[in-house]
A and B are shown apart, each in its own frame.
Chain A
């Protein structure tokens, strides 16, 4: 009998989809595998492929025993194909087919739309691994290094998840798309990754934490809406990916939080009250709060761009087709068709920012972005609680949605963090107060010195409150093997 909970190891590729009896797909994946490994070796974490990393590997989709922790060399990580268990009698949750049985095969009329969504999602997964490949060398601790690598191998597994869908359900052109996912490279001139934010460099650890907090959270929201897909294999894949994605959110939220905490502690120890006394704070070897705010502004704005235009026909079509739902679709109390509903969307009218009710169907992106903003504000609240506890007078804020945007209604205007439209001159004069400058980047870079002794942390970041897998503080999360 096919065991759909535990992972089978009877093929090279661990899976719970019965690969050993699906010769065609198995062959296609085995053909793709060497290309993946050579991509990992060429563009994965630079300099640590021989090190033993204390990683969790998904071994089951049953929550009680889904992961196991052990030392692994990253190229030997068991990337596998894991789908959440099929829900008996699941129906299409939204759009014109709502209530009909979920598709187990690709519905012909939506084939291209579906393939494009899977390719875009798939393209972001290896992209972030490429963006982060140099960070290991400046890791502020073995704990953080391990978390980085955990994020990296799981992004690798998410690529596998999307490639499986392409190979299994999209025939020859699916295979081609799967190959192209390894051909495009983050930041490349000739074959860049598909989305802007995934071609930006991740030059330092604060950028990494901000990226995992804000940009990976977009990934989470996209996965959440794909988990609502009427195409059941996509839904099941994404549901399982979300379990892993949670770790990435964790790395981001606690990472930024620990940087903030260390800064506040260092200020207290030195008796510095004024958070804007940047030079004095920086002299302590910590990142001043205003600079952290600037990094927040940057990463938040870039991530908002990933949601696309506020009003979008593509998004409406995908929803109407039942290919992509809303965040927590099943928990929303409406008809899930949205033919007669409206939704408030932010717009520019005569040079003013206004809210307008538009057809809810066309505002799917806006709604997901609103859900994202709410979700992202939770962590900012926690960071402020950390600051408040130390008694420093400072508050982190998410800038206005129109600030520093390149896609959607605000692409052509300048908006300050408070949401006031300003002139180009005003923007040029003030932008260095709002966005990180080269000098800010250089300062952060100057702190990026590796600390690799078990239990030790760089001076600009506080240790975590609890270890991974309940390990003690001085646990050796990575056994380094330097060539």
Chain B
């Protein structure tokens, strides 16, 4: 097996050798010599019990490796080695370890496709928390229990979008806003092979649907022929679900409360933005800059979370809900509203703390790009080079399917 592996390490330049992590580790995976405190890759099961008690943050160091660093190597370090370039097995070129979105090739590829709309290699925001990746896979999935399954769109709307809450019990399943999980529907396809897992964005913030609950929520639209979406949309309270992930290391939220966040979505693309918004709301002590949401749907009763969204104060979230099929109103798409807000957006495009996120159907990309091209012109800039520059600094993100 030559699959890359994510290895937990301790940054020797920041560590002060207090051995608090060693005490906290329930399975004795951490040890030390006189110079360094080190993690045994063969033992560490990513339970994260050592992360929070560390007084320095040195414990939160990770490298993607083909061959894990031995204890002896780690003990001899004066500093953490750079992330090595790791060529992916399918020959698609080197993957930069720091931004590896998944350890399973099929998922990594799915995410790479989803992020392609940003026009280049996606990068995480500079102040994003470090994500945990692929703690669970098909061989060793997490098992969640459905806590609830609620229809978000009205019965008369032509789309059935659901809010599904999954309890993770005692399992350690750390997620960040913007990450996804994989769900594998039970059963086999026409050829007798197990179904491939589908990815769904998590729509709850890192600390759960309510603060300090160990659960996640998903926003899933029923697709007529979709094996997985029908499976998920039909889940009943108490049902077991097998989850893989978490996945995604770039489409993440900046921790910087001063970051200006612009979110553009359609349909279930709103899932990560629900998580972003809830995260900001829970951090009100930080004040934080107001976020902006451009959210398109056919009609208001087909717009997921329409009711709850209305209740989010404007001081936290400036909402632009636009409808393309509403009665008695002119047809409006997100790009139309973006152009109406061009002065505001132009200002944001030139600000250094602005982060832009686009999420939804692939079909929305073109209109959004076109709107940004015009707005960039207003400030005398070329959109493509501005976008590339923002993406390189982790401030422009696209996740479309």
* A interface with B by C-beta (< 8 Å): 63-67, 70-71, 220, 239, 242-243, 245-247, 249-250, 253-254, 374-375, 378-379, 381-382, 385, 465-466, 470-472, 474
CA distance A379 to B56 in the complex (A): 14
Write the nearest CB–CB distance from B169 to chain A, whole angstroms: 14
Assess A70 versus B285: contact at CB under 8 Å? Given A246-B53, A250-B56, A470-B255: yes
| Interface residues of chain B: helix, strand, loop or mixed (majority) | loop
B14 within 8 A of A: yes
B57 lies within 8 A of A249 (CB): no
A63 lies within 8 A of B50 (CB): yes
B53 lies within 8 A of A378 (CB): no
Write the nearest CB–CB distance from A301 to chain B, whole angstroms: 22
B interface bracket (residues with beta carbon within 8 Å of A) = 20 to 34
Write the nearest CB–CB distance from A241 to chain B, whole angstroms: 11
B52 lies within 8 A of A249 (CB): no
Instruction: Offer 9 A-B interface pairs, CB within 8 angstroms, sorted by A.
Output: A63-B24, A63-B53, A64-B172, A65-B52, A70-B285, A378-B16, A471-B255, A472-B126, A474-B258
CA distance A470 to B126 in the complex (A): 11
Residues of the A chain whose Cβ atoms lie less than 8 Å from the Cβ of B212: 65
Assess A249 versus B23: contact at CB under 8 Å? Given A378-B34, A470-B255, A471-B255: no
CA distance A67 to B20 in the complex (A): 14
B129 lies within 8 A of A249 (CB): no
Q: Identify which of B16, B52, B56, B258 contacts A67 (C-beta below 8 A).
A: B52
Within 8 A of A (CB), among B45-77: 47-57, 60
B49 lies within 8 A of A253 (CB): no
> Which B-chain residue is minimally distant from A375 (CB atoms)?
B17
CA distance A147 to B61 in the complex (A): 22
CA distance A71 to B288 in the complex (A): 14
Residues of the B chain whose Cβ atoms lie less than 8 Å from the Cβ of A381: 35
Sorted nearest first, the 8 A-B pairs with minimum C-beta distance are: A246-B18, A247-B55, A63-B24, A250-B55, A246-B55, A63-B49, A246-B20, A253-B16
CA distance A163 to B51 in the complex (A): 30
Write the nearest CB–CB distance from A83 to chain B, whole angstroms: 15
CA distance A54 to B256 in the complex (A): 15
| Interface residues of chain A: helix, strand, loop or mixed (majority) | helix
Residues of the A chain whose Cβ atoms lie less than 8 Å from the Cβ of B51: 64
Q: Type the 1/0 row for B127-162, where 1 means its CB is closer than 8 Å to any CB of A.
A: 101000000000000000000000000000000000
B318 within 8 A of A: no
B78 within 8 A of A: yes
A378 lies within 8 A of B24 (CB): no
Residues of the A chain whose Cβ atoms lie less than 8 Å from the Cβ of B13: 382, 465
Write the nearest CB–CB distance from A54 to chain B, whole angstroms: 9
* B interface with A by C-beta (< 8 Å): 13-14, 16-18, 20, 23-24, 34-35, 47-57, 60, 78, 126-127, 129, 172, 212, 255-256, 258, 285
Residues of the A chain whose Cβ atoms lie less than 8 Å from the Cβ of B53: 63, 66-67, 243, 246
A249 lies within 8 A of B14 (CB): no
Write the nearest CB–CB distance from A254 to chain B, whole angstroms: 7
B57 lies within 8 A of A385 (CB): no
CA distance A70 to B211 in the complex (A): 14
CA distance A220 to B56 in the complex (A): 17
CA distance A245 to B16 in the complex (A): 12
A378 lies within 8 A of B285 (CB): no
Q: Identify which of A71, A249, A470 contacts B55 (C-beta below 8 A).
A: A249
Write the nearest CB–CB distance from B21 to chain A, whole angstroms: 9
B255 lies within 8 A of A472 (CB): yes
> Which A-chain residue is minimally distant from B126 (CB atoms)?
A472
Residues of the B chain whose Cβ atoms lie less than 8 Å from the Cβ of A471: 255
Write the nearest CB–CB distance from B52 to chain A, whole angstroms: 6
Write the nearest CB–CB distance from B157 to chain A, whole angstroms: 40
> Which A-chain residue is minimally distant from B32 (CB atoms)?
A378
Assess A250 versus B255: contact at CB under 8 Å? Given A64-B49, A466-B57: no
CA distance A64 to B49 in the complex (A): 5
Write the nearest CB–CB distance from B36 to chain A, whole angstroms: 9
CA distance A247 to B52 in the complex (A): 12
Residues of the A chain whose Cβ atoms lie less than 8 Å from the Cβ of B14: 465-466
> Which B-chain residue is minimally distant from A247 (CB atoms)?
B55
Residues of the B chain whose Cβ atoms lie less than 8 Å from the Cβ of A249: 16, 18, 55
B285 lies within 8 A of A470 (CB): no
> Which A-chain residue is minimally distant from B287 (CB atoms)?
A476
Q: Identify which of B34, B52, B78, B255 contacts A64 (C-beta below 8 A).
A: B52
Residues of the A chain whose Cβ atoms lie less than 8 Å from the Cβ of B17: 375, 378
Q: Identify which of B20, B57, B256 contacts A243 (C-beta below 8 A).
A: B20
Write the nearest CB–CB distance from A90 to chain B, whole angstroms: 15
CA distance A432 to B138 in the complex (A): 69
Write the nearest CB–CB distance from A62 to chain B, whole angstroms: 8
CA distance A63 to B34 in the complex (A): 25
B23 lies within 8 A of A242 (CB): yes
CA distance A250 to B129 in the complex (A): 21
- Which has the most chain B C-beta neighbours within 10 Å: A71, A245, A253? A253
Residues of the B chain whose Cβ atoms lie less than 8 Å from the Cβ of A242: 20, 23
Residues of the A chain whose Cβ atoms lie less than 8 Å from the Cβ of B285: 70-71
Write the nearest CB–CB distance from A237 to chain B, whole angstroms: 15
CA distance A245 to B17 in the complex (A): 12
CA distance A369 to B309 in the complex (A): 61
> Which A-chain residue is minimally distant from B256 (CB atoms)?
A472
CA distance A63 to B23 in the complex (A): 10
B20 lies within 8 A of A254 (CB): no
Residues of the A chain whose Cβ atoms lie less than 8 Å from the Cβ of B126: 472
Write the nearest CB–CB distance from A71 to chain B, whole angstroms: 5
B16 lies within 8 A of A472 (CB): no
CA distance A179 to B78 in the complex (A): 48
CA distance A348 to B333 in the complex (A): 88
> Which B-chain residue is minimally distant from A62 (CB atoms)?
B49
> Which B-chain residue is minimally distant from A469 (CB atoms)?
B57
Write the nearest CB–CB distance from A213 to chain B, whole angstroms: 9
CA distance A326 to B17 in the complex (A): 19
Additional pairs, 6, CB under 8 Å, beyond known A63-B50, A381-B35, A472-B258? A63-B24, A71-B285, A242-B23, A254-B16, A465-B13, A466-B14
Residues of the A chain whose Cβ atoms lie less than 8 Å from the Cβ of B54: 246
Residues of the A chain whose Cβ atoms lie less than 8 Å from the Cβ of B57: 466, 470
Residues of the A chain whose Cβ atoms lie less than 8 Å from the Cβ of B35: 378, 381
Assess A66 versus B52: contact at CB under 8 Å? Given A374-B34, A472-B127, A472-B256: yes
B49 lies within 8 A of A379 (CB): no
B34 lies within 8 A of A379 (CB): no
- Which has the most chain B C-beta neighbours within 10 Å: A64, A239, A465, A470? A64
Write the nearest CB–CB distance from A385 to chain B, whole angstroms: 6
Write the nearest CB–CB distance from B156 to chain A, whole angstroms: 44
CA distance A378 to B17 in the complex (A): 8
Residues of the B chain whose Cβ atoms lie less than 8 Å from the Cβ of A250: 16, 18, 55-56
CA distance A314 to B60 in the complex (A): 42
Write the nearest CB–CB distance from B78 to chain A, whole angstroms: 6
Write the nearest CB–CB distance from A390 to chain B, whole angstroms: 14
> Which B-chain residue is minimally distant from A227 (CB atoms)?
B23
Write the nearest CB–CB distance from A467 to chain B, whole angstroms: 8
CA distance A84 to B256 in the complex (A): 34
Residues of the B chain whose Cβ atoms lie less than 8 Å from the Cβ of A239: 23
Write the nearest CB–CB distance from B93 to chain A, whole angstroms: 30
Residues of the B chain whose Cβ atoms lie less than 8 Å from the Cβ of A247: 55
